[in-house]
């Protein structure tokens, strides 16, 4: 029997998943958490075999939580179950250590299938995520939606990953440094990316910059 934790900030969804797991004799529910920090401590305390993880969490987001758990609990199997499925988030979750990713719109049958596959040592992606990943592979320079960031955010992203300071960006675009910093914070939040290296990978992926221009 696999020991499992559920990490989900929406109480109704967490309780629904917990009830389903309790009825499945393949799993034993050993903990629940609604935010990233609590989830980190919970997992370190109970050392589960499997975790169901929402990609967007208060306190400590899913990507950062996964990275920390991967260092401390390398044998933990993780299924991401999220309402957010943009290509950057999916890629970041997989790179951080998720073994599967099922979108919440896919329904409980897909969730159950994904959970069983991941717990058994395999990988699984829900239909929307699988289609998204196929599109990223087929069109690597167009994997980000052109409407995902505003034009100004794309301008600022391009300059930031080309190593321009906030002062330089403000001067080039004719805006204040505070406005630059606000835009930068907004685009990091939208993309769920929190360092220049990750922003650079995203900018290259969507074809916003040439790799040789990234420093």
Average pLDDT value over all residues in the chain? 86
Helix (H, G, I), strand (E, B) or coil at 209: coil
Same domain for 116 and 172, yes or no, is no
> Does residue 143 lie in a domain region?
no
Q: What is the pTM of this model?
A: 0.67
Return d(Cα 101, Cα 96) in angstroms, integer: 12
User: What domain range includes position 200?
Assistant: 151-213
Least confident stretch, 4-13, 117-126, 178-187: 178-187
User: Which residue among 138, 169, 191 closes a domain?
Assistant: 138
pLDDT greater at residue 91 or residue 13? 13
Domains of the chain: total:
2
Whether the pLDDT of residue 152 is over 50: the answer is yes
User: Which residue among 107, 138, 169 closes a domain?
Assistant: 138
Helix (H) / strand (E) element for 80: namely strand 77-82
The band of 139, judged by pLDDT with boundaries at 50, 70 and 90, is low
Q: What is the pLDDT of residues 85-96, one digit of tens each?
A: 677 778 778 888
> Does residue 144 lie in a domain region?
no
Return d(Cα 135, Cα 53) in angstroms, integer: 24
User: Which residue among 138, 170, 197 closes a domain?
Assistant: 138
DSSP-based helix, strand, coil % in the chain, nearest 5: 55, 15, 30
- pLDDT for 25 equals 94
Q: What is the pLDDT of residues 37-77, one digit of tens each?
A: 999 999 999 999 999 999 888 888 888 899 899 999 999 99
> Does residue 52 lie in a domain region?
yes
């Amino acid at each position: 029997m696999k020991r499992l934790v559920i990490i989900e900030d929406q109480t109704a969804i967490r309780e629904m998943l917990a009830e389903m797991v309790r009825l499945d004799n393949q799993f034993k529910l050993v903990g629940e958490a609604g935010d990233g920090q609590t989830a980190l401590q919970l997992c370190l305390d109970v050392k589960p075999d499997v975790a169901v993880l929402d990609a967007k969490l208060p306190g400590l987001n899913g990507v950062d939580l996964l990275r920390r758990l991967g260092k401390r609990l390398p044998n933990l199997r993780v299924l991401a179950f999220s309402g957010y499925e943009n290509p950057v988030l999916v890629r970041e979750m997989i790179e951080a250590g998720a073994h599967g990713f099922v979108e919440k719109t896919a329904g409980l049958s897909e969730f159950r299938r994904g959970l069983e596959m991941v717990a058994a040592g395999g990988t699984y992606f829900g239909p929307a995520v699988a289609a998204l990943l196929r599109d990223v592979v087929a069109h690597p320079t167009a994997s980000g939606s052109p409407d995902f960031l505003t034009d100004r955010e794309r301008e600022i992203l391009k300059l930031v990953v080309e190593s321009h300071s906030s002062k330089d960006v403000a001067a080039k675009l004719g805006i204040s440094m505070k406005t630059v910093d606000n835009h930068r914070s907004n685009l990091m939040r939208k993309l769920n990316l929190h360092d220049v290296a990750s922003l650079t990978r995203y900018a290259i992926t969507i074809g916003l910059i040439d790799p040789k221009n990234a420093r």
